[in-house]
Amino acid sequence: MSKKTLIVIGNGMVGHHFLEQFAASPAANEYEVIAFGEEKQLAYDRVHLSEYFGGSTHEDLAMGTADWYADNHIALKLGEPVLAIDRDRKAVTTPVGRYAYDELVLATGSYPFVPPIEGNDNERCFVYRTLDDLDAIRASADTATTGVVVGGGLLGLEAANALKSLGLEAHVVEFAPRLMPVQLDTDGGAVLRGKVEELGVRVHTEKATTDIVEGENARLRMNFSDGDFLETDLIVFSAGIRPQDTLARQSGLKVGERGGIVVNNQCTTSDPHIHAIGECALWNQRIFGLVAPGYTMARTLSTVLSGDPDAAFTGADMSTKLKLLGVDVGSIGDTHGQTPGARNIRYNDEQAGHYRRMVVSGDGKKLLGAILVGDNSYYDTLLQYALNGIDLPQNAESLILPESQGGVPALGADALPDSASICSCHNVTKGDIRDAIDAGCSDLGGIKAETKASTGCGGCTALLKNVVDSELEKRGVEVSKDLCEHFPFSRHELFHLVKVNGIRTFRTLISQYGRGHGCDICKPAVGSILATCWNEHILATDHVPLQDTNDTFMANMQKNGTYSIVPRIPGGEITPDKLIVLGKVAREYDLYTKITGGQRVDLFGATLSQLPEIWEKLLAAGFETGHAYGKSLRTVKSCVGSTWCRYGVQDSVGMAIFLENRYKGLRAPHKVKMAVSGCTRECAEAQSKDIGVIATENGWNLYVCGNGGMRPRHADLFATDLSDEELIRTIDRVLMFYVRTADRLQRTSVWMENLEGGLDYLKKVVLEDSLGIGAELEEHMEGIVGTYHCEWKTAVEDPEKRKRFREFVNAPNKTDPVQQWTTERDQRRPVLESA
């Protein structure tokens, strides 16, 4: 019996997912399958498209391989677009030839909407959809300084982040009165706007572009209907999508009034042998612009073609959890309270930039929707209340309040019913996860492989891990302490993999020992490990995508979007000439000046473009970076010691300077602070530091693993009456052992408390060399000391690295026209909203 032919038009995420589902279905043996893709590349992950600018390749983003298609007997024809469908003869035509079908699947997706603006066809105007689009944007950005994104929705903000990562001054132009108008309300949009602008992206709302013409000070000029204008070097249109339904229209299939191929609950069009899934399909007058509904359609259609009469697509959850430009944004259900009788509960902390809104039913018992901006830690709990119809607690507001104000802990995995949807992309419930564990899956990786949970958008990762951990613990299984879902190793284990195998890039590490593309947990952690092992510059091409905002620009971003300048002043000792230089620089750039508790002079209020200029002046005067932006040594505080003080018994200043210069290049899991006191009067407060040194008549007493902060901890006495050489050797070993074995973002105090045996064990390892690694730890530290380089000196001397600081290069006075300033105590400071 000859096989039937199934043709799939479209090799995007949804088309590929359908082929995966169909290849595993009972119907696969009945069909010859042919898949057409207009692009020349295999299907790739558009959800993580922006990572292409961070160094990812098509291979990194690819969702399958040519071997997979061959192994599953799917004839894949890339770069061969389908030109027409002949419904009468049941055939499709391409530039190569004609192919007959028995069943046809349209997974043609969507195309970017470009507003009908005169000049939108300029060679410097782009869309943000494919890898080819991104290649064109990158090529244009090489000779540009400013970029504008038209559209302030999800993809628009992603595109703005991409422009920023290319070193451009980024602007977002949105027609609506707020960003993300579909997902957010007015207050949520305002909070998001504030956070986005703090990160250096200019936002222009309620702007309608009338035309695009040649600019005077830039390549292009956008004229707005209100008479205003904006000049830029390139424009990226990201103003929404439209269903790609051209083939359907040409072949006479029924389409919606505003586009989209009309389908029924079985994802079948007006032709019983033609089906449509994903963004090209119009179901119940709705187009679904997220990947999860497309995946659900794909699964439904695969089941339909396998002969299941009950298979039906009945809609999809459109909730989203995102991190846009580093800002958490969550949207659940009825965000705008359109359900009759709906009521609202809001929490708005303008100081912290956190906004939360719950939309509840009229009787207050059910959650209908929610909005989160600035903190998505509440998302998983709220989503489960909404999806599963769980009754709200009596004080429903407790679900969005901080714990300090009466908030309740997150909804535990045990409280969820088996029907709770954990992964909406692949329709995986808690019951499915429990079944997979009962069938033999014993870790997170196995669950993901079996159920596909968290392999779509990734928004359910944290909740999935909680459920898996809970179910495994119930069965007496030891729960994995993996760093994240991308690496089946702890930070300690990753450190050894990097060091032993000489791995120098994140890409190499994840390709050999991980999976996926990485996340905000593993990327900075691996960045820290690479810096500790090899001491390469943090703005090296392979390292930039791993850094957060502060490390990316080697300066701490302040609440108003400006940056701080913190030169290192070892031991707090500074010459009058250097003090004069700091004063001159602060006066020239009108910077706020503060002597900190760590005995440094901090300069606040520098714009991004001013950072290299200021550092050039400071470097010329002999200053170095103070690493205030990194997880590294901050300061070594000291008293004046025996040189001046009548009580001092040792030269605390000299020792503090030596320690600071020795460890200033060390990257660690968390920031490290030290202090040296010249006598037991303890004026430097050494016993509250990670490393504290106190002089004695016979040498130095060493204290370790103390800290201030939210949970202050007194340091423990570690060794007494050490000579200079013994002190340095002991500190080398303690710090290196900490760097190698601590968890991500773990202070030395928490690290020691978590060591089995605590302080006594640490003494055995360091003082008695019980593990036989003392010499190795010392040698590693010597390597870090010997390869130290001032990161700012390297950056200002490298033209390519300086491009990252061009944000305000086109502004005439190189200042932020949006930021408002006032004077207080004879110094400039930002205007606060409450002022």
Q: Mind listing the pLDDT tens digit for each residue in 472-515?
A: 877 777 666 777 878 888 888 888 898 888 898 888 898 899 88
The tokens for 346 are 């809001």
pLDDT of residue 137 exceeding 70: yes
pLDDT at 536: 77
Q: Mind listing the pLDDT tens digit for each residue in 183-218?
A: 888 999 999 998 888 888 999 999 999 999 999 999
Say how far apart CA 72 and CA 23 lie, in whole Å: 6
Q: Residue 834 — very low, low, confident or very high, per pLDDT cuts 50/70/90?
A: very low
Task: Tell whether the torsion through CA atoms of 46, 52, 57 and 60 is positive or negative.
Answer: negative
Q: Mind listing the pLDDT tens digit for each residue in 101-119?
A: 999 999 999 999 999 999 9
**Sheet hosting strand 169-174, strand order edge to edge:** 125-127, 234-237, 146-150, 169-174, 202-205
Q: Residue 646 — very low, low, confident or very high, per pLDDT cuts 50/70/90?
A: confident
* Contact by Cβ (8 Å): 637, 598: yes
pLDDT at 732: 96
pLDDT at 538: 66
- Stronger pLDDT, 175 or 818, i.e. the higher one: 175
pLDDT at 813: 45
pLDDT of residue 389 exceeding 90: no
Other Cβ atoms closer than 10 A to 247: 22
**Any residues with CB less than 8 A from the CB of 257 and at least 6 apart, and which?**
none
- Stronger pLDDT, 273 or 546, i.e. the higher one: 273
The tokens for 338 are 């359109």
pLDDT at 749: 87
* Contact by Cβ (8 Å): 425, 455: yes
pLDDT of residue 680 exceeding 70: yes
pLDDT of residue 812 exceeding 60: no
pLDDT of residue 678 exceeding 70: yes
Q: Residue 594 — very low, low, confident or very high, per pLDDT cuts 50/70/90?
A: confident
pLDDT at 220: 95
Q: Mind listing the pLDDT tens digit for each residue in 15-51?
A: 999 999 999 998 999 999 999 999 999 998 887 787 7
* Contact by Cβ (8 Å): 292, 321: no
- Stronger pLDDT, 622 or 711, i.e. the higher one: 622
Task: Tell whether the torsion through CA atoms of 722, 726, 732 and 737 is positive or negative.
Answer: negative
Instruction: Tell me the DSSP string of 550-575.
Output: HHHHTS-B-TTS-EEE-B--GGG---
Residue range 235-254: average pLDDT? 94
pLDDT at 300: 94
Q: Residue 744 — very low, low, confident or very high, per pLDDT cuts 50/70/90?
A: confident
pLDDT at 22: 94
Other Cβ atoms closer than 10 A to 414: 11
